[in-house]
Structure 1
Amino acid sequence: MGIGRNSIVCHPVLVILSFITLHPCIARLIIIRDPATVISSGGVFKLGFFSPSKSSNRYVGIWYNKIPEETVVWVANRENPVSDSSGVVMIGDDGNLAVVDGRKRVMWTSNVTEIYYNTTVELLDSRNLVLQKDNSSGRYLWESFKYPSHALFLPTMMIGVNPKLGEKTQLTSWKSNSDPSIGDFSLELDPVSIPQVIIWNGSKSNWRSGPWNNQIFIGISDMYSTYLNGFTVSRDVDQKGSVYVTVDFANKSLVQGYFLNSTGTMIEKWWDDEKKEWIQSWLGPRTECDIYAPCGPFGICDTLSSPICLCFKGFEPKSVREWSTGNWSGGCVKRTQFQCEGNNTNGENQKEDGFMKLEKAKVPDFPNYMNTANVEEREQECLKNCSCVAYSYTNGIGCMIWNVNLLDMQKFSMGGVDLYIRVAHKEIDKKRDPRLLIIITVVIGVVGISIFGCLLWRRITKMRGKKMKYKGGLYFKRDKETSPDFSDSNMLGESPELPVFTIEKLAIATNNFTFDNKLGEGGFGSVYKGKFSDGQEIAVKRLSKSSGQGSVEFKNEVVVISKLQHRNLVRLIGCCIEGEEKMLIYEYMSNKSLDAFLFDPTKRALLDWRKRFQIIEGICRGTLYLHRDSRLRVIHRDLKASNILLDEELNPKISDFGMARIFGGNELQANTIRVVGTYGYMSPEYAMEGIFSEKSDVFSLGVLLLEIVSGKRNTSFYQPEQSLSLLGHAWKLWNEDYVQALIDPGLLEPCFQEEILRCIHVGLLCVQEFAKDRPIVSIILSMLTSEIAHLPTPKQPAFTERQIYSDSEPSEKSHRGCSINNVSITAIQGR
């Protein structure tokens, strides 16, 4: 029941305060007199007057009733506040809902043009304020959902447009936290061609979601079809050409929604009733690349690149001078005209244009739909049109083409789609004769080795002339007779690109390897922080003379890592070999290793789920590079949390390649009688039979994944009642259909729960007992990013039960060279 104009009803939804006469013979019904409030029937929302922080103005708004922090979700008189506490909310003589101040001025009205004399108003538990003709009609004359302010909530609330009628429903930001009047930013659904959400800064685009593919907005890299809180785009819901976007929350018990703030950022938040605070779970724009078109036409933005703006192959900066100063707004231009554009007589330019692929892309703005599914047809249709500059295909949309400058392109680290950009034939990589490549490679190799041999001989001769001796931790000149023997330098083999440093230079850099510069210590020696004279920070891994890592492991690490380059692998800067001294010099990682964060009760809080997923993905990409994408095929054999280093932004880098093994092109697995690695991360076939392959690294990866999700270390996890390892505990919870109990309590954000559960599922697939059952790393990545939607059921992991040893009790297989996690060089805390 609502409140009628011609009758007084005692109703729990709205409380009638009084009648007043504002004009002779015309009475108006007062709904609220400031500071009174009314509450929805279920007690969820409250309607009343409020004043924003640092403001004395009074506004009529709706906010949560049961949340102690006043969070306003709708404002009526945004542009006309009441200056004092004399305001009232009433039903006027024309049946409209109105806000009136003490001087009888109408500050806001629902402005329904048809006049009704028996209207009622009701605040629903959906926080929709509705005006209707009577309680039984079911038709709203006016509703606040049709006139939102800055918040988007339930499926019944729509943001959309009707081009035929010229109607638009949009969110508009506040001017500031203390001023709810309409600000500079607005959010709306752009229905042109393919729907997408756009945040405007005045008349300029500030951020866009990318096109809708019937499941997700493909321009949001971390949005998946499995999102718990999914959007839906509906067409022609009123049979008048309307297009609307709504949001639906899977967990109906949570208070959550999207808010457009005064700086133009769309924030997803949910209320944590235990902490009594709003928790931010997503925002956009989030990075500099998310802002609309920071790199101009044909420019590609990549947050992992420096600088962040790049020109695609075949394009160059429009203004090199502006580009070099960090002003990328001019964008890029193509170096060579398309075949159809000019009167070129050059034979190369007469050849047909082609396309080059940009993977994991946020597609440009202004796409057009092309009705074709065949790959060849897409290319040919685009080539027929000289203005066509790119095309892309994605499920749910089909083929998109672009006939305008490519604006707002972005390179994602995950998500996105493949974008094919048109380039002149001249810019396309030519196929070269493989025999010529072999000849060139051999010649370059021979020349390089010869030059390196000469340089190394000169360096050895020079170093032999230096008179050095070691005394009391300091280095002094010494007689020629006792100079160090550099004959070990040949152990570098074929690593001519790796610099060799003198021990003197490293002693200066590390302040003579003092304890204050020591980062950590393990079974293979110590790691020290150092700084060269040019300011470059380094980490020096100094092998102890009694180390189990001898010349073989040292040479192995030097050879392997010097030939590998990937953003998720630690970079080896150089090495030092003098007499019995063997040292490796790495880039310094300020945040030390993953275990220093993951298993520390304080630091663990810094790793929210987004950061942990970024770490998981980075480790997988680094491992995929080792297994399939590098010029060497490498099995790491000791993947664990202490061997994952973190840079300043907590990006992961795989380290410690002393135990790595290079595989030949056709080699699938190998066998060894010398098992190396760390118990708890070693696959059963490797620990027990010495057989290792890509799948043994996959097993270690699965253990790491479960550790990252749970925040518990596998090698120290113990349930005395059942003697379960972490793997056994996870398997037990899986069979009990209670696997969410494995999740680190600090990650219990409902919006990420499905993604976290997927990671546990993938982790269990990785640690299955038999190697043939485990997925390869490329499949693991597809599973994690939901490119593979349906995952197989995991089989029982290896080592689901364990025998617990004391720290001092040796393993029965200790003679095979296995390292214990806390005494291995791989446990060093920082580099």
Structure 2
Amino acid sequence: MFSFKVLLLILACLWISDAATDTLSLGDKLNSSDHLVSKSGNVTLGFYKQEYDATWGDKGFGYYLAVRYTEDTLNHPIWLANRDDPIADDSGVLIIDNTGLKITHAGGNPFLLFSLQSTAATNIKLVLEDSGNLILQDEDSNGPENRILWESFDYPTDTFLPGMKLGVSRGRNRSLTSWLTQSIPAPGAFTLEWNPVAGGLVVRLKDRVLWTTGESFENILPLDPLNMNYNFTNVSNVDEQYLYYTLLIGEYTPEDGRKNARLVLLDDGSLECESRLYLFNSGTCAGDITENGCVRWEGPKCRSNGDKYEKISIIPAHKNSINNTLLGNNSLSLNDCKDICWKDCGCLGVNEQMVLGCQFLSGPYIQGGLDATSYQIITRHRSKSKSWIWILISIAIALMITILLGILFYLRRRRRTRMEEEFLLDLMTSDRASDISELHTGNHGHNLNIYTAAFIMSATNCFSPENLLGKGGFGPVFKGTFPDGQEVAIKRLSRGSGQGLVEFKNELILIAKLQHTNLVRLLGFCVQGEEKMLVYEYMPNKSLDSFIFDESKRKLLDWNKRFSIIEGIAQGLLYLHKYSRLRIIHRDLKASNILLDENMNPKISDFGMARIYKTNEAQSNTNRIVGTYGYMSPEYAMDGIFSVKSDVYSFGVMVLEVVSGRKNTSTFHFDRPLNLVGYAWELWKHGAALELVDPTLSDSCSKPQVLRCITLGLLCVEDSPLDRPTMSDVISMLTGEMQLPLPKNPAFSTGRRIIETNVEEKEFENYSLNGLSMSVMDPR
């Protein structure tokens, strides 16, 4: 139910909306009895009287030109034109004349907001927008929109509004500055700034950082219950680095005030939202902690970790315990005094009862008493001996926790290994050599054979060295012949393999569910005792690297065969990324993992490192980086981040290898040592890309088709995953259905080595917390 006062307020707002305008033209004036009201009536511009809660010189109030919400739940202006220079009476007038936009008043010089003397403009108007932005614009500009000469959003006070920018834009650095006290609008001790380097907003007390939101805004307290979602966006390019936000609001009624969306930097450094709830409470950051975004106070050597301000009651032991040196300085608030005291080793505290000016405690003092006065004082560290005791206790506790976690990790890993072994052993048959069962995979009726170790031993002639086809990270690969004459390739897990049971199970489960002409086909497996083997269809021409990197064999691959191999690999990857039952990232794509059948058709093999990803999952990360130097994308090699674009990078390296017949790890010299990717880029930049082509292809290749493949290879090895094409685009580019864009400087082009390492788990790109979301935008 509305009260009578609320009804009057609504009627008054309706009257103002009818009587007032949102525009002030050249020659118009706005005096203390006039108002500008935005089109929707949401905000109002006018002179208002600000009452001070303490005597400020001989004045108890001042007049300010301010923008306010018409229905203001906080009773606080969102922008002030003359916060540094209050007008003593109601004589203030806002004028637009030939000299510019200014405020005149009785008994003093005008306040010039914008000068028109250097601006060629004739149809000048001042417009108050519903966003709270006051804009001076030239409506005779030749562009599609009115030219903005000046706007209040470029000069924020203590209030952050939707659409307002904090940071550097159009050559101006914008930040918020708190009021001096709760009732005095003059600039105070705190600022709210955007930090483009570390990311996030920071609150400063003078030159000291007190608190930060964190790059993902994780340190902001839970938002109010009014269903508000503040969506922060970071814009960073060569000319601008700033942050702005928009507000996503659920259903509301006008009387609950949710259509307003400001964030206010209070005089004590706290950050408050529209519903009078804190996004940051400065009282939680006392200078001695680093949790929840707080930053430990730095100062002279006499201040150390653990020192902080604390509110207690004390009695001075002597009359000289209080120093009145700065008493009555009206430009200093309590927070200014605390900053000064912190930097002075002889200062023990600050008198809280002073509204403006400082009163310092120099000691000695006696704690407690009936006549005690409230002070902000600095507490000292405990003695060094006790500090060392606590340090030793902390080290002992940390060591015990580390040992306990190590034991738990070992037990968990042992249990997991045992469970995996039991799972695989359930798949095997008994020890009878003739007992061969079948495991139905559910893959359109295809069956996976389970072989005994004795059967495999017979097929490979007891793993005779004559039947050895090659060795990999998994172990040796042997050729085998079954009793019916079928030839197969058998991968045998070696005991010293860097891979293990997890990779074995991964490849078994994944490849059994995949069916494509450009993927190697798994026929079955064997798990018996310590023997773990995978049985594949036999590829008589072995792997791609055995041809293109061999001086004699590479001549057998003319350009048409090489292009067919490139296209076949692309088709296989497209199936893995998009059309298979499981969305697969291979993660170890290289020339030695591309097998060739009797017709030189390529087949992708070795899925031990492959990962399944969800269809709505753009990328993932791992703390175990595996793969082959030269084929790993930069984001995977350095940060453990992998996606389908990681496979695209490996594909691009292989394309350049197939065209050139040289390994990516080969060293080339241009004006500096380069790897194959870097060498291809330099040739392409200088218009000599065809010099990369294998000399044996000079008579068989189509130069436009070769140049298309080189350009495609460079596009696939772009430094940023976002710049690399998808495999769908790769197919379209190979067939000429899509025009190739110009490639950029590729990653790892200087041949620098990438060291296999472990990286910590990280959070990426999109954040959501307590209704707060943040996205990163990088205009180009």
Alignment TM class, shorter chain as reference:
0.3 to 0.5
Tell me the TM-score normalized by structure 1: 0.38
The structure having more radius of gyration, on CA atoms, is: 2
Tell me the TM-score normalized by structure 2: 0.41
